[in-house]
């Protein structure tokens, strides 16, 4: 990482300070993350150079967020994150090379909440952190509603589909779409899964009606 980038005056401040564990087998990347995350108001509480160290550091420090590279010795980032989240789910930003591995899609469904492709800009890192934290909030809401982690993981796709409907139909941001689903759930004394199913069903009904009108 170029020193000029580390000395950049840009400051991507956020409203919430997070305790973060970072894992990468490249010392320059670990240095970069520690500098830029501090500029953003966060605190790197531990670093790791391989997946096994990452698991140990997360067990010891219980961070608010994990940022990890995929390709590391001894244990890769995806397997390490799965092991960490099996006992104590945590928001995760996964860092990949320019070519993402095939199993990244499965990881995104199971544990990883945001990812970045190298090389990335400072603002892209900030956006990835925000996405991971927001989606983890959604995951926890589903976990509370279902009472089990497996059900919450399965319903994440349902929730994402419902958000997509609202984002397209009402031109909402992802955050606003989730807030709309939360409001609907509260107002109707339903859980998020039920509301998401209704939103998706209503969109399917509207699409079918539009097709019928078009053929008449």
**pLDDT tens by residue, 67-94:** 999 889 888 888 899 899 887 889 999 9
Tally Cβ neighbours within 10 Å of residue 65: 21
Tokens of 105: 């899609």
CATH superfamily for 3-132 is Response regulator (3.40.50.2300)
**Could you tell me if 79 and 104 are in contact, meaning their C-beta atoms sit under 8 angstroms apart?**
no
**pLDDT tens by residue, 112-135:** 678 888 889 999 999 999 988 988
* pTM, rounded to two decimals: 0.68
Q: Residue 5: is its pLDDT beyond 70?
A: no
Tokens of 107: 């990881």
| Domain coordinates in residue numbering, the chain | 3-132, 148-215
Alpha-carbon span 132 to 59, nearest angstrom: 20
CATH architecture of 148-215: Orthogonal Bundle (1.10)
Sign of the Cα pseudo-torsion (175, 158, 109, 98, in order): negative
Average pLDDT over residues 17-29: 95
Q: Residue 48: is its pLDDT beyond 70?
A: yes
Strand partners, 114: 93
Name the DSSP letter for residue 49.
S
Q: What is the DSSP string of 100-138?
A: --TTHHHHHHHT--EEEESS--HHHHHHHHHHHHHHHHH
């Amino acid at each position: 990482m170029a020193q000029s980038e580390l000395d950049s005056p840009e400051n991507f401040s956020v409203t919430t300070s997070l305790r973060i564990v970072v894992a990468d087998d490249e010392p320059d990347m670990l240095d970069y993350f520690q500098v830029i995350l501090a500029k953003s108001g966060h605190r790197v509480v531990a670093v790791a150079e391989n997946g096994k160290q990452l698991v140990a550091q997360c067990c010891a420090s219980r961070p608010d967020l994990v940022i990890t590279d995929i390709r590391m010795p001894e244990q890769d980032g995806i397997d390490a994150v799965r092991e960490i989240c099996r006992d104590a789910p945590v928001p995760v930003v996964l860092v990949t090379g320019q070519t993402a591995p095939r199993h990244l899609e499965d990881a995104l469904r199971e544990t990883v909440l945001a990812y970045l492709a190298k090389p990335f800009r400072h603002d892209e890192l900030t956006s990835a952190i925000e996405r991971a934290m927001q989606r983890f909030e959604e995951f926890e809401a589903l976990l509370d509603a279902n009472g089990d982690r497996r059900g919450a993981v399965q319903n994440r796709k349902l929730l994402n589909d419902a958000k997509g409907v609202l984002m397209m139909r009402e031109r909402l941001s992802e955050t606003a779409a989730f807030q709309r689903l939360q409001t609907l759930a509260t107002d109707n004394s339903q859980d998020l899964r039920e509301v998401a199913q209704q939103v998706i069903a209503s969109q399917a009904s509207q699409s079918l009606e539009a097709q019928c009108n078009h053929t008449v």
